[in-house]
Amino acid sequence: MDPEINLLYDKFRKGSLNRRQFLKKLSLLAGSTAAAYSLLPLLEGNDAQAAAPAVPTADLHTEMIRYPGGSGDVLAFMARPQGDKKLPAVIVIHENRGLIRHIKDVTRRMAAEGFLALAPDANSPLGGTPEDDPDKGRTMLRELDYEKATEDFVAAVKYLKTHPLTNGKVGCTGFCWGGGMTNQLAVKASELDAAVPYYGSQPDSEDVPLIKAAVMAHYAGNDPRINAGIEEFEDAMKEAGIEYSIYMYEGASHAFNNDTSPERYHEEAAKLAWERTVEFLKEKLG
């Protein structure tokens, strides 16, 4: 594959180009519109392979489900180990492009660690995140009512608390937009047992005392906008007597856990943060 075409597709996948712009530029590089459309399945196939889960999927049960939320039925991707053993549950909250393949991969990884993992799609009120157009997923997310979206994730806690295949313990982790939503969920859902936000915006200080969950927060050293709120967040948690830990990964940038984004992925930080996350969730959820 021509390196320029791969670079162009990478820009499209990361949201720098919308689909129309991408196809126009691809047609120029490929020589014709027909040639561009013939390349598209190959590019998407390579992308899917790159984002394929590094877990034994034969040992997992995966499915798309719906659960009742504040805005109506919420679409969600569920993954869990095979069998009928009651498991601790973990909500996985996506980044700002909606429920894309990468987040489904993360959900599978969480399931492979022994959890019933559920990744709700915040774009459910708008029909769900389109798999073939992550750029549209980002646009859709901006159109949501944030308070109603939060209610949908609060409903996920209630859904998992009484699910027949869970032990009644529920944790949450989220990335970027999902990191901020994880913090909001900790504020809004008193039944949440553990919260692990990755580089997420912090809740208002006056809301922090409402948090009942244990908190583990991960931040990137090169992320000044998000990091500006850490000190106030930490002070508020200290004052409220909340169990918390904060980890800073120097040399890493925002979205360092996303292994489908070569320019942001920081392998060392991502692996260490994941190990800490899994250990913490196993400790708090049983």
Do 88 and 214 lie in one domain? The reply is: yes
Domain boundary among 14, 33, 50: 50
pLDDT of 45 strictly over 60: no
pLDDT confidence bin for 13, thresholds 50/70/90: low
**Residues 197 and 280 both lie in one domain:** yes
Rounded to whole angstroms, how far apart are CA atoms 92 and 122? 11
Do 248 and 109 sit in the same domain of this protein?
yes
Looking at the structure of the chain, the number of domains it has is: 2
39/167 same-domain check: no
Token pair 């090169």 in the structure block, residue: 222
Strand blocks (E) in the chain = 60-69, 72-81, 87-93, 116-120, 166-175, 194-198, 214-222, 244-253
pTM of the model: 0.82
The boundaries of the domain holding residue 260 are: 57-285
Are residues 41 and 66 located together in one domain of the fold? no
Shared-domain flag, residues 14 and 131: no
- At 220 the pLDDT is 98
> Closest by alpha carbon to 99, among 73, 121, 132, 130?
121
Q: Are residues 117 and 211 in the same domain?
A: yes
Same domain, 117 and 208: yes
Residues 31 and 161 in one domain: no
Which pLDDT score, from 0 to 100, does residue 211 have? 98
* pLDDT exceeds 80 at position 102: yes
CATH of the domain at 97: 3.40.50.1820
238-245 average pLDDT score:
98
**Is the predicted pLDDT of residue 277 greater than 90, yes or no?**
yes
Dist. CA 137–CA 9, nearest whole Å: 17
Long-range contact set of residues 187-190: C-beta below 8 Å, sequence gap at least 24 = 187/211, 188/150, 188/151, 188/154, 189/153, 189/154, 189/157, 189/158
pLDDT at 51 (0 to 100): 46
User: Looking at residue 52, what is its pLDDT?
Assistant: 44
Averaged pLDDT score across all residues of the chain:
90
Residues 270 and 226 in one domain: yes
127 and 150 part of one domain: yes
Q: What is the rounded average pLDDT of the residues 32-55?
A: 62
Whether residue 106 sits in one domain with residue 204: yes
